[in-house]
Amino acid sequence: MAQTPEAVLKDLKAKKFAPIYFLHGDESFYLDQISDYIEKNALQEHEKGFNQIILYGKDTNLGTIVQNARRFPMMAERQVVIIKEAQQLSDWSKADSKKVLEAYIKQPQPSTVLVFAHKHKSFNKNTNIYKLLDKQAIVVESKKIRENQVAPWIEGYFKQKGFQANLKAVSMLTESIGADLGRLQTEIDKLLLNVSDASKPVDEHLIEKHVGISKSYNIFELQKALGTKNWFKARQIMQYWEANPKSQPLIPTIAMIFTYFTKLLVAHRTQDKSDGNLAKILKVNPYFVKDYKIALRQYPFGKVVRIIHYLREADLQSKGITARNPSDAQILQELVFKILA
């Protein structure tokens, strides 16, 4: 049956193990969390030598997996069989292999915890295997979170760790890292190792110091400079990026600016421009609505349409799909000049 990652982890922490877990989807973060937890905690250390088997999809097949799953544990309550990168199994579509797995799903070995980690894409739900798994196993589908879900996820992760982060800190992480949950977890965990006082919110100064995202020269500040037509600030940021090219790669920068002006386009076409409605339509924190309203006054609808065109040109240039071959710094400078002109 389908379950949420949170519900599965809660049961695992309560030592409630199921015979089969099928983890799939394009967001690896939760799949890794569940698989890693089972690998580390389903058995005691002295039991793992004889009772924990780790297989990789490209190196095994369904018949071998089932053969291992049918074994009995040795001097332990259970055995664990984990198939990592299960999407690389070559015999998912072979009739004989499917029959072997289907038979096991119908009657699994109760003392085995069998885990399939099918990462980077969802399994075909129209297959008999999936339908059987949905009835007989614990199924977790993990999808990429949307852009407007990133900030709440960051806030929730800090809260889970017993900390709070202010809005600027959350925004810096959101804009610089985006929906890469694995990287967000790594950066936040690294940051919290250096924070001793949980009573004080994590702020932009701590983000700059321990995560390496500048509080003054990041994509969020460039968007703000563009929105207010602050040429001086925009130029400062570009000069910083030119001197520190790894701090803000060009292609994701163009993508983020494109998203920003696409939202302005939507805002222009929205009749109800109240703060609450704009926050909902644009999928942004209500705190930032005032910035979008300022930008709306600075950029009429026709200008925003032209800017979208400039961004597409810059995107092609950044990917080398033009006759010209300017540097990244030149592409960004020309783009910002056109936007602010």
pLDDT tens, residue by residue, 32-89: 999 999 999 999 999 999 999 999 999 999 999 999 999 999 999 999 999 999 999 9
pLDDT of residue 107: 96
Whole-number CA gyration radius for the chain: 25
Q: How far apart are CA 115 and CA 229, in angstroms?
A: 54
Looking at residue 169, its amino acid is: A
CA distances from 238 to 100, 118, 167, 234, 294 (A): 59, 41, 24, 6, 22
The mean pLDDT of the chain is 91
Structure tokens that stand for 95 in this block: 């009739």
Please say if the pLDDT value at position 175 is more than 80.
no
Residue 84 contacts residue 37 (beta carbons within 8 Å): no
Please say if the pLDDT value at position 285 is more than 70.
yes
Q: How many other C-beta atoms are found inside a 10 Å radius of the C-beta of residue 131? A: 13
User: Of the candidates 288, 317, 32, 298, which has an alpha carbon nearest to the alpha carbon of residue 147?
Assistant: 288
pLDDT of residue 71: 96
What is the percent of the chain where pLDDT is above 70?
99
Please say if the pLDDT value at position 122 is more than 90.
yes
**Res. 323 pLDDT band, cuts 50 70 90:** low
pLDDT of residue 176: 76
pLDDT of residue 114: 98
Q: How far apart are CA 320 and CA 325, in angstroms?
A: 7
Please say if the pLDDT value at position 269 is more than 70.
yes
pLDDT of residue 178: 80
pLDDT of residue 99: 95
pLDDT digits (tens, 9 = 90+) for 193-247: 988 888 889 998 888 888 877 667 788 889 999 999 999 999 989 988 888 877 7
pLDDT of residue 247: 75
User: Of the candidates 193, 213, 216, 192, which has an alpha carbon nearest to the alpha carbon of residue 202?
Assistant: 192
- Residue boundaries of the structural domains of the chain: 5-141, 147-210, 219-340
pLDDT of residue 77: 94
Q: Can you name the residues that pair with 115 across neighbouring β-strands?
A: 21, 82
Q: In CATH terms, is domain 147-210 a member of 1.10.8? A: yes
Please say if the pLDDT value at position 125 is more than 90.
yes
**Res. 301 pLDDT band, cuts 50 70 90:** very high
Q: What are the backbone dihedrals phi and psi of residue 207, each rounded to the nearest 5 degrees, phi first? A: -60, -45
Residue 115 contacts residue 83 (beta carbons within 8 Å): yes
Residue 78 contacts residue 51 (beta carbons within 8 Å): yes
**Res. 147 pLDDT band, cuts 50 70 90:** confident
Structure tokens that stand for 1 in this block: 């049956």
Give this prediction's pTM: 0.69
Question: Which CATH code for domain 5-141?
Answer: 3.40.50.300
**Res. 177 pLDDT band, cuts 50 70 90:** confident
Beta strand 52-56 pairing with 20-25: unpaired
Question: Which segments within the chain are labelled E, that is strand?
Answer: 20-25, 52-56, 79-84, 112-119, 138-141
Residue 241 contacts residue 294 (beta carbons within 8 Å): no
pLDDT of residue 197: 86
pLDDT of residue 179: 84
pLDDT digits (tens, 9 = 90+) for 5-14: 999 999 999 9
CATH topology of domain 219-340: Zinc Finger, Delta Prime; domain 3 (1.20.272)
- Residue with the two structure tokens 């965990």: 189
pLDDT digits (tens, 9 = 90+) for 106-118: 999 999 999 999 9
